[in-house]
Amino acid sequence: MRVLVYGAGQLAQMMYLAGAPLGIEVEAVDVSSDTVVHPVSKLPLDASLEQAIEAADALTVEFEHVPERLLEQAEKSNKLMPSMEAILVGADRVREKQLLETLQIPNCSHRIVTSLDELDACISALGDKLIIKASRDGYDGYGQWRLTSADQLEEIKQALDGLDLSAVPLVVEKMLSFERELSLIGVRSQNGDIKVYPIAENLHYQGQLHVSVAPAPKVDAALQQQAEDIFKRLADGMQYTGVLAVEMFQCGDQLLVNELAPRVHNSGHWTLTGSDTSQFENHLRAVTGLPLGDTGARSPAAMINIIGCGTFSRELLSIPGCHLHWYGKTVRDKRKMGHINLTAENYQMLGHKMQQLVAYVP
Ligand code: ADP
Ligand code: MG
């Protein structure tokens, strides 16, 4: 079987590695040049995009910002999973909020803004602590502006001046003081079976994910159930096939959905060593019509991103239960270069191993 992934980064690479033992061949599309490449070497393969689409059993994406003309072409083949509509929900915060409202899923108080004059009304409605988000092309905290008091409004308006807000509106959210950030990764098969992983707790720094711990500590059955109900409503509501990630804020005992990612997700990388079936394998199983695999956690697990640095000691592998995934990319500031997965028999040991890591990663 063959799966074509739009996007040729680390997620396509990890899908390739998960597919090999199942006899699923994964190819990637470099969307900047419309070329079909090997997901690990990134070298061009001997097929045009049209030929690769024709030869594939399923088409999928590793990121949501795939040019729409490519998505349209992919959708026409009737092999794209999840659907173009689901991918566009992940790529556009306005569509995302509309879906959450339609499905009555709790989310952060917000306003959709199509001109800078409307920002004053946002302050009256939501208060003067706001996060202003471009509705398209944002990731890892890029395309966001924070307002912490009303006097910053003029400065922010200047920074936003020049954006075409009628074409790409802003989503203005109340800045929440939440307990913590959680995510739920789940998978839905073509015939509607659903399996979800335990909730992960995510630590962000400057808008970017640094660490995930799964299962998240202090999650009672009611909270896990609340997250699973949200997942089911979303996945069924979109007739979704594949892995879907739901980022949430925990406020008291309520979960508010922040973002959806229609794909395998950084906060699910722990599943490579912490679960019986990784998110990458389950995504491939779903899009190729195979039975879904077990999503339980074997033991507490942590995923630590290696960000913006290429020099660290591989001696970190001496820590028991420590695994490295290096993506082989050129080093750039704030770029995700690789990640480390840790497992341990309990949270205390996990914390201890995370402290040991500090000696190896700058
Ligand atoms: P992206 O991950 O696409 O950059 P997010 O909407 O997930 O965008 O925002 C990035 C991070 O910014 C979140 O993980 C969270 O830490 C913080 N953040 C986003 N929205 C809010 C909000 N309304 N209140 C407080 N913090 C927020
Ligand atoms: Mg996010």
Same domain as 326, residue 191? yes
Q: Is residue 118 part of a domain?
A: yes
| 175 pocket-lining for ligand 1 (C-beta < 6 Å) | yes
Q: Whose CA is nearest to atom 22 of ligand 1?
A: 175
- 141 annotated binding-site participant: yes
- Say what the pLDDT of residue 361 is: 79
C-alpha of residue 213 to centroid of ligand 2, in Å: 16
| 207 pocket-lining for ligand 1 (C-beta < 6 Å) | yes
Same domain as 184, residue 302? yes
The DSSP bridge partners found for residue 242 are 188
**Among 174, 192, 225, residue at a domain's last position:** 174
Same domain as 299, residue 159? no
Same domain as 331, residue 264? yes
Q: Is residue 100 part of a domain?
A: no
- Contact (Cβ atoms closer than 8 angstroms) between residue 292 and residue 278: no
Which residue among 173, 180, 258 is best mutated to probe the pocket of ligand 1, counting the most ligand atoms within 8 A of its Cβ? 258
**Residue of 33, 34, 38 lying closest to 2 (CA atoms):** 38
d(CA 330, CA 196): 34
d(CA 136, CA 163): 12
- Say what the pLDDT of residue 330 is: 94
| 259 pocket-lining for ligand 1 (C-beta < 6 Å) | yes
Closest ligand 1 atom to 175 CA: 24
- Say what the pLDDT of residue 206 is: 87
Tokens representing 90 are: 């992940």
- Say what the pLDDT of residue 199 is: 98
The H-assigned helical ranges of the chain are 10-19, 49-55, 68-76, 84-91, 93-102, 118-126, 153-160, 221-237, 271-274, 279-287, 347-357
| 204 pocket-lining for ligand 1 (C-beta < 6 Å) | yes
Q: Is residue 38 part of a domain?
A: yes
Same domain as 128, residue 254? no
The answer to whether the Cα torsion of 351, 346, 316, 216 is positive or negative is negative
Q: Is residue 305 part of a domain?
A: yes
- Contact (Cβ atoms closer than 8 angstroms) between residue 157 and residue 172: no
- Say what the pLDDT of residue 354 is: 96
The CATH number assigned to the domain holding 134 equals 3.30.1490.20
Q: Residue 17 — φ and ψ, nearest 5°?
A: -65, -35
Q: Is residue 205 part of a domain?
A: yes
**How many domains is the chain built from?**
3
- Say what the pLDDT of residue 214 is: 98
- 133 annotated binding-site participant: yes
Residue ranges for the chain with pLDDT beneath 70: none
**Among 80, 95, 130, residue at a domain's last position:** 80
Which residue among 144, 174, 208 is best mutated to probe the pocket of ligand 1, counting the most ligand atoms within 8 A of its Cβ? 144
| 140 pocket-lining for ligand 1 (C-beta < 6 Å) | yes
> CA dist 195 to 26, 71, 266, Å?
23, 26, 18
- Contact (Cβ atoms closer than 8 angstroms) between residue 310 and residue 331: yes
The CATH number assigned to the domain holding 27 equals 3.40.50.20
C-alpha of residue 93 to centroid of ligand 1, in Å: 12
Closest ligand 1 atom to 93 CA: 6
Same domain as 233, residue 213? yes
Same domain as 302, residue 212? yes
Q: How does pLDDT run across 53-106, given as a tens digit for each residue?
A: 999 999 999 999 999 999 999 999 999 999 999 999 999 999 999 999 999 999
- Say what the pLDDT of residue 287 is: 98
- Say what the pLDDT of residue 311 is: 80
16: helix, coil or strand?
Answer: helix
Same domain as 74, residue 49? yes
Which domain covers residue 55, as residue numbers? 2-80
C-alpha of residue 18 to centroid of ligand 1, in Å: 30
d(CA 221, CA 2): 38
Q: Is residue 99 part of a domain?
A: no
Nearest ligand, CA of residue 245?
2
Same domain as 351, residue 216? yes
- Say what the pLDDT of residue 316 is: 94
Q: Is residue 93 part of a domain?
A: no
- Say what the pLDDT of residue 278 is: 98
C-alpha of residue 348 to centroid of ligand 1, in Å: 28
C-alpha of residue 98 to centroid of ligand 2, in Å: 17
- Contact (Cβ atoms closer than 8 angstroms) between residue 122 and residue 172: yes
Q: Is residue 331 part of a domain?
A: yes
Same domain as 253, residue 144? no
Tokens representing 312 are: 């660290």
**Residue of 19, 6, 54 lying closest to 283 (CA atoms):** 19
- Say what the pLDDT of residue 141 is: 77
Same domain as 340, residue 234? yes
- Say what the pLDDT of residue 284 is: 99
Nearest ligand, CA of residue 63?
1
**Among 174, 189, 209, residue at a domain's last position:** 174
Same domain as 165, residue 119? yes
